[in-house]
Amino acid sequence: MSKTKPNHQIPTAGAGIFGMWHNHTNTLFNKYEIRKLLGRGAFAKVYHAKSISTGQSVAIKIINKTKIAANTSSNIKREIAIMRRLHHPNIVRLFEVLATKSKIYVVMEYLKGGELFARVAKGRFDEDTGRKYFQQLISAVGFCHSRGVYHRDLKPENILIDENGNLKVSDFGLSAATDQIRQDGMLHTICGSPSYVAPEILVKKGYDGAKVDIWSCGIILYALIAGYLPFKDPNQMALYKKIYKGEYHCPKWMSSDLKQFLSRLLDTNPATRFSIDQIIQDPWFRKDYKEVAFPTDGEFTFKPDEEDRTGFSLNAFNIISFSSGLDLSCLFDDCTSSENDGERFVSTESPERIIEKVKDVVNVEKGIRLKTNKNWRMEIEGNKLNFLMELEMYRLTDNLVVVDVRRRMGHVELFNELWREKIKLKLSPAGDERKNIQPERSISV
């Protein structure tokens, strides 16, 4: 790759650290020194950079708001939300998210080894080498599945290698989580790369996200050791026909144990296809197998709108979402809300004290009832009136709490009367000025 600096326009330095590059040093947020362009896409560029304070190399994906298409915006938002929760030695680490009004800066682990695809393109691996990489891949995929995350686009191009030769899964832009599973217990979005797609996706009747990932892992293992893909055809419909029927052949140099193992991974019937647990117990897989140690953070259920509530400080993704200038929801979605739909502010009161004050107001109101839960969330609804208002609180620091109020349904007049003229006044005692979250702040995870 050329070592010359990329030919692009660098914004002039702005006030302080608020999301601007400085021409004379090529620094970002006074935190990172930008080194070189690694790659670019339709809406983003990826740079190699170094932390000014630690000297650590990082990769920074810079997402341009003006170039984001509607059909890719939700993928970006989900990728950020998922990656920040997946801490595993074989998954690319997300360090922090920075933002300005026009751009999102995703700071990730930098991996010198490049894509696994590039290594496979140079020639096939022997079984021991292929097994080592496959063991690491299964560790990462199993970890994702244990947290209700399904990658859905596993392929060598989305797998990176670090300087020590270890595998790292990346690119969660097409991933799904348990919140997307329908009532039939299946996922239904058609996605993935043609040569790696599982046969059950082709029939468009719903699929198990875990079994789809396992199929893709089988394709990757085959490619690592054979040096080519099991299903190939220049005609895409003919390719899909081979995948659906499971028509592939193993080269003669593969061991019988590996051939049998692949047959269980590339089983066209997802019900009898190997699970992660069955993979780990297979004799071919277990040769020289070492359990990967990784930090456990308890049970994880992916709920993008209900994460990290009680007892935790807000992380970067949450804070950016709450800031008018750094609002990721408005960056990715069509924002139509107005001041009549709600507001956010910061209070010095504790969540428990805020709940008490809200109860004091609601208890004297007729036709209104209050529901609370352990996550500092309250629902205020009309017993007979078609009205619903939600109030949620998030810990910002030890002394500050973000109060988020939303009118979900009902007349604006009733919301204004109840919230702005009664509850809000109760929560804003004299001398306690409201502290609005200011835009153009750089926030770290």
The residues annotated with a catalytic role in the active site are 153
3-state secondary structure string across 39-65: EECCCEEEEEEEECCCCCEEEEEEEEH
Q: Looking at this protein, which amino acid is placed at residue 81? A: A
CB 212 within 8 A of CB 150: yes
CA–CA separation, 3 and 277 (whole Å) = 45
Q: Tokens in use for 276? A: 């992660």
Segment holding 209, helix H or strand E: helix 209-226
Cα dist. 191→39, 212, 222, 241, 302 in Å?
Answer: 23, 11, 21, 17, 20
Q: Tokens in use for 55? A: 């000297």
The three-class DSSP label of residue 98 is strand
Three-point CA angle 50, 56, 62, nearest 5°: 45
Residue 45: exposed, middle, or buried by beta-carbon count in 10 A (0-12, 13-18, 19+)? Answer: middle
